[in-house]
Amino acid sequence: MPAISSNDIKNGITLKIEDGLFTVIEFQHVKPGKGGAFVRTKLRNARSGSVIERTYRSDERLEQAIIDKRDMQYLYRDGEDYIFMDQSTYDQVPVSAKNLGAAANFLKETGTAILMINEDEIIGVELPASVELLVADTEPGIQGDRVSGARKPATLETGYVVQVPLFVGPGEMIKVDTRSGEYLTRA
């Protein structure tokens, strides 16, 4: 692993510290009038998503983790594992539901995702900003129930439940925001 100086910290790089792998989401170089300079950082745990704050002295050496981002296609589910295919080498890779986290709610067969890999371990998934999914089941809207902004639950083809407007029915394609998990529009 390459070592970098704390002065070289930038947003988006991943550091390997004693607590695990952390991605820099915010940093600030501080040079007080008295004393040595330091770097104040906010770090997101690559596995759990929790955020911590750390302060490093100027020129302190940190270990940078190398993250390989691979474009993968989701093929099918095999028990607890999701099977992905590397689009460049055509290798099939099993990924556990634990490693996918909430991204598993938005995966449908032949969909694409970017898997983040560190030392043959999958540490994260990047999905497109929105995906189109089929509404598998929802209750019909009741005639006369036209309250502005009224919502009802709808089960999608992946099993995920999302709140949709009353006019959305079973068998319709909708767009869902993968970051918040909310309904966007009809597809």
Per-residue tens of pLDDT for the chain, all 187 residues: 578 888 888 888 888 888 888 889 999 998 888 888 899 999 988 777 789 999 999 888 999 888 888 899 999 988 888 899 988 888 898 888 888 878 888 888 888 888 888 888 888 888 888 889 999 988 876 666 566 677 889 999 888 999 988 888 899 999 999 888 889 888 8
Domains 68-126 and 130-186 share a fold: yes
**CATH node for 3-64:** 2.30.30.30
Q: Compute the Cα dihedral for 85, 91, 96, 101 and give only its sign.
A: negative
Whether the full predicted model's pTM is greater than 0.75, yes or no, is no
What fold, for 68-126?
Answer: OB fold (Dihydrolipoamide Acetyltransferase, E2P) (2.40.50)
Retrieve residue 156's tokens: 């999608």
Domain boundaries along the sequence of the chain: 3-64, 68-126, 130-186
**CATH node for 130-186:** 2.40.50.140
